[in-house]
Amino acid sequence: MRITASAQDVFDVLADGWSYAGWVVGASHIREVDEGWPAEGTRIHHSVGPWPLQVEDVTKVVRVVHGELIELEARMWPVGSAKVRITLTPAGPGATDAVMEEEITRGPARVVPDVLLKPRNAEALRRLADIARGRT
């Protein structure tokens, strides 16, 4: 997805753990963000789903290249966990190409076809783009 904001502006949203529920589809509440987020190994403690059926779990940074890439292990147990990678590539002045890839790695959610994840991830990128543009 092409975002009309710089890669750094988009990454700044990713680096703000408190904004996670604003762009991640399904995340409903942030309870805590580890100091140093988004350093490798730091976590966002979040709730997923509608109240009163919320599930509390965490998302952990597996790999990060500031301004370019973040790879996360997103958990929502007992449903499962996923590896999520967001890659940012500059696309000219004030523009970024963002790609979000998600692979369900554990739990019952592994039976969800990838084709059902694409619309959810596209919406997450639209939300991420709106927040990034709103901050600039």
The per-residue pLDDT for 101 is 95
Packing angle between helix 114-135 and helix 7-14, nearest 10 degrees? 110
CA 116 to chain centre: 17
Euclidean distance between the first and the last CA atom of the chain, given in angstroms as a whole number: 18
- Is the pLDDT reported for residue 124 higher than 80? yes
Q: How many structural domains comprise the chain? A: 1
Q: Residue 89 is part of which domain span?
A: 2-135
CA 67 to chain centre: 14
Contacts of 77 (CB under 8 A, 6+ apart): 55, 57, 107
CATH number of the domain encompassing residue 99: 3.30.530.20
The per-residue pLDDT for 112 is 73
Question: pLDDT tens across 88-115, in order?
Answer: 999 999 999 999 999 989 887 777 777 7
pLDDT band (50, 70, 90) for residue 53: confident
pLDDT band (50, 70, 90) for residue 132: very high
Q: Indicate the SS3 state at residue 86.
A: strand
pLDDT band (50, 70, 90) for residue 56: very high
Q: What is the mean pLDDT of residues 32-54?
A: 94
pLDDT band (50, 70, 90) for residue 51: confident
